[in-house]
Structure 1
C-alpha cells in the first residue's frame, strides 16, 4: 500500500486475500451461465445472468433490480455509502458474452470454466473470462470486501450493467435518457480495457470510435450465365472489389474524401510517453502469426494502433460460394466495412465521404445502397482530472508501481453516451492483457490480473472518499 492511502484500506485488502478462493468460486458460477446475447436461443440464460448479479448485489447491501428493455434487461443497483455528501461513482459493465463458436477449437467447454497453469501463473479459461464477466467481478468483489469489513462502502455507488453490449447496445441510449436522473454520478468507472502488462497497471485515456457500414452493389436483374453474358454484363462482385481495393493507397493511407480533415496528431508529450513504453512491435504481431505490419507506414506503430483512424473490410460475399463450381455473374455483391475513428472525427461526415468514395468509383452499370449498423465518436479522457489522479493513485496502491497512460484501438460507445447524456467523464481502469483471446476460443483472464483488479477497485473507493473529504474541507 502506497503512502497516503486510506487507513481503512489495508483490512479490506487483507480480506480480499483471505477470501480469494471464494471470489474465484463466485466468478466461476457467473461464467457457467451462457449469456450469449446475440442468439435468441440463449435469451433465458442471458436474463438469468442479469438476475444472478442482482442477487449478488443485494447480498452486499445494494438495492438492486432487473429493468426490462425491448431487448435484454438492465441491472441497476444503488448503495448509499456513508451518507450525504460522499462522492458518487457510477460503475458500468456488461454481463453478456460473445458466441463461443467455433466450439471445436476450445480445449474445454466454453461455459465450463477451468483454472489452468500458464506462463504467468494460473488463469481462468471460459467464454466471458475477461470480456467482461471477470473484469466486472473485480469491482463487485471490491464492494463485497468493503461491506464485509466496514459494514458499508466509503462512497456512494450506482452499479449499471447491461446485457446487450455484444449486440451493439441497442437499448442503452434510450435507457440512459429515460433514467438519466437516477444514474447521475460524479464520475463513471469502466473495467473493459487492459493493463500495459501483468505487472504494470494502465489508465486508458483515449478510445477510438466506430462507424460500421454495409454496402450492397446491384447489377443485372438476376444471376447470369457467365459464358453467355461474361465480358458485356457488369459484374457487381468485380465492381465492388474494385471499389474496395481503392480504400488504401500504397502507403496505407485511407482514400475516402475528407477522411483526415479532423484528425489531430498526438502532442509531443504523449508521443514521448508512448515511445518510452518500448512496445515490441514484432512480438506483438508474432503472437498472432503475422510477420509484417499494415496501416500508414510513415506512422509509429503505437500511433497506428491507438490514435490513427482505420478502414477495414469485415466481410464480403456475393454469387456462388458453395462446394464445386457454378459459373454465374451475381446480381448482387455485398460487404461490411468498418471505420475506427479518432477524436474529432464525425461519424456522419465519414459516412458521407464513404458514400462519395463509392459513387465516384462504381461501374456505371451498377447501383449501390449504403447502410449503417452503428456509429459512435472517439473519446479522450482529461488527464488533469482529479478523478483520474485518484485512479492512478489507486492502481499504484494495488500494484506497488505507477500506472502508465495508454490508448486503446477499440471502441466503448457507452463512454461517449455517459458524457453526452449524463455529462460525466469515465475512468477506464482495465486489467486485461493483449493475449487474453477476447472473442476467440480459449478466452482467458490471468488470476494475477483478477487479483490486482479487485485490490485496485478497493483502493479506488478509498481514494475517492479521501478526495471527497479534501473537497469538503476546502468548502
Structure 2
C-alpha cells in the first residue's frame, strides 16, 4: 500500500477526526488556574485513551503540577519524539467571545471555514494533526511508520515548571534521533514553513538609587542627583545612531546568516510596510544594513520594557525620587550566552554610574537561542513533503520569539527539533474567539503523513 492510500483515508475520515478534536476541545484544561486542575487531568486521560487506541503504550505521568502524557509505539527506522501541549490559556474576558469557548463548532467566515474554540490552534488542533496522521497510517498499513515517542505537556501555558525536571529524570527514555514540535504556523498564513532558528532571551530588572528618601525638588533640585536622569541617560546610550547595541562584547558570539538562508528569506518577499502598518508604524528601526527578516529572526536585540520611579499618580508631586527602576530584555541568537550578556550589561551600567548612586540587580533569567542543524536530511525531506501538500515550496524560517522546549531538547536530550505548524497569523491564540482554519487541520494531517513517509524511508 502507498502513501496515496493513507492520504485518501485522511480525506474520507475527516468528519470523525473533527469529532475527536471537538471532544478534546470541550475539556477546559486551563493550566494556570487551580480550579481547572481536574480538567487538566481529564484531558491527559483522554489523550492516553486515544493513544492506546492507536496501539501506543501510553500513560499519564504525575508531576508536581499537571500530568505529562508519554507514549511509545512503532518499531524500526528512525526514532522520532513528537511534542505538543494539551493545556490552554484562560478565556477572559468571556464577554468578548462570540460563543462558549469550550463548545467547539465549525463557523463560516469570509476567508473560509474555521474551528472556533479555545485551544483549537494553540495547541490541541495542532497536536491532533499528528495523532490523526498516525491513525490513518495505522489503519492503512497496520503499523506505525517508524519508532515514535509522544510527549504531551500540561503546563506550557503556565511556564512549564515541571518540564525541565521531567526531561532530566527521563532523559534516556525520551531521547530520540529527532524531535518534532507542532506549535508554530505557516509563513504569511499561506506558505508552509519549518522553523530552524529561535531567538533566546535574557532579562533583568534593576534599580538605581541615590538619596535615602524622595526629596523636595525646590529645596534639592539642581544640587542633588536624580536617579531617573541617571537611568535614562544610561539607557539612552544602549544603541548607537546605527542601531547597534553598545554593551561591550555583545556581538562576540553572533554568527552571520548563511548566504543560502539569506537568499531564501529574500525570496519570501516579506512586506515590512504592511507588517509595521498593521500596528500603526511605517519605518523600520534597528541595525542599519539589515533586512527586516534578518532583524526579527536572526539578529540580537536590546529592549527597554519598562521604566518607573518617583510620583506617577494623579496630579503632581514635585519630588526628586530616591530610586529609578527599569526592566530590560535581550533577544539572543547564535551562540550568545544569557549569563554572559547580562553580566556584560551590568558592568556597562556600573561603569557609567556617577558618585552618590548605587546599582541593585534583581535575579536575572534567560535561555539560549536554538539553531537547528538543517544539514540533517530529515529537514529537506520534510521541506519537500510540505511543498507537495501545500503546492508551494516550503521555507526554512526563523522566529523572533523564544520556544524554550526546542532549546531543552537540545541541551538536555541532545537532539535537534523540527518545528512544523499550520497556524495562521489571525488565529487569535491567547485571545477571545481563537480559531483554527479547517484547511490547516485537514492539510496539517496530510502534511504529517507525508513527512512521516519521507523520514521513515
Q: TM-score, normalised by structure 2?
A: 0.90
Q: Say whether the 8 Å CA contact 2:338–2:365 is kept in structure 1.
A: no
Asked if residue 382 in structure 1 is aligned to residue 373 in structure 2, the reply is yes
Shift in CA distance, 316/441, structure 1 to aligned 2, threshold 3 Å: farther
- Using the TM superposition, give the Cα deviation of residue 349 of structure 1 relative to its aligned residue in structure 2, in angstroms: 1.4
Q: Give the SS at the match of 1:129.
A: coil
> 1-side partners of 2:237 and 2:429: how far apart?
31
Asked if residue 37 in structure 1 is aligned to residue 28 in structure 2, the reply is no
Q: Say whether the 8 Å CA contact 2:189–2:425 is kept in structure 1.
A: no
The alignment's C-alpha RMSD in Å is 2.7
> 2-side partners of 1:397 and 1:362: how far apart?
59
The aligned residue for residue 26 of structure 1 is: 20
The aligned residue for residue 358 of structure 1 is: 349
Q: String of CA shifts for 1:8-41, please: whole Å, max 9, x gaps.
A: 3222222222222332333333334343333444
> 2-side partners of 1:357 and 1:224: how far apart?
28
Asked if residue 249 in structure 1 is aligned to residue 240 in structure 2, the reply is yes
The aligned residue for residue 401 of structure 2 is: 410
> 1-side partners of 2:427 and 2:64: how far apart?
32
Q: Any gaps of 5 or more consecutive residues in structure 2?
A: none
The total of aligned residue pairs comes to 457
Q: Say whether the 8 Å CA contact 1:73–1:162 is kept in structure 2.
A: yes
The aligned residue for residue 13 of structure 1 is: 7
Q: String of CA shifts for 1:233-255, please: whole Å, max 9, x gaps.
A: 54444443443333323332222
Q: TM-score, normalised by structure 1?
A: 0.86
Shift in CA distance, 359/121, structure 1 to aligned 2, threshold 3 Å: same
Asked if residue 200 in structure 1 is aligned to residue 191 in structure 2, the reply is yes
Asked if residue 48 in structure 1 is aligned to residue 46 in structure 2, the reply is no
> 2-side partners of 1:280 and 1:313: how far apart?
26
Q: Say whether the 8 Å CA contact 1:211–1:372 is kept in structure 2.
A: no
The aligned residue for residue 149 of structure 1 is: 140
Q: Give the SS at the match of 1:30.
A: helix
Alignment equivalent of 1:71, drawn from 55, 65, 68: 65
> 2-side partners of 1:233 and 1:42: how far apart?
53
> 2-side partners of 1:22 and 1:407: how far apart?
34
> 2-side partners of 1:114 and 1:247: how far apart?
49
Alignment equivalent of 2:106, drawn from 101, 106, 115: 115
> 2-side partners of 1:294 and 1:190: how far apart?
32
Q: Which moved more, 1:343-352 or 1:432-441?
A: 432-441
The aligned residue for residue 419 of structure 1 is: 410
> 1-side partners of 2:360 and 2:259: how far apart?
42
Alignment equivalent of 2:332, drawn from 326, 341, 364: 341
Q: Say whether the 8 Å CA contact 1:257–1:356 is kept in structure 2.
A: no
The aligned residue for residue 471 of structure 1 is: none
- Using the TM superposition, give the Cα deviation of residue 265 of structure 1 relative to its aligned residue in structure 2, in angstroms: 1.6
The aligned residue for residue 90 of structure 1 is: 81
Shift in CA distance, 235/462, structure 1 to aligned 2, threshold 3 Å: same
The aligned residue for residue 3 of structure 1 is: none
Q: Which moved more, 1:388-397 or 1:172-181?
A: 388-397
Q: String of CA shifts for 1:57-87, please: whole Å, max 9, x gaps.
A: 22322222222223333221111x1x3x332
Shift in CA distance, 110/241, structure 1 to aligned 2, threshold 3 Å: farther
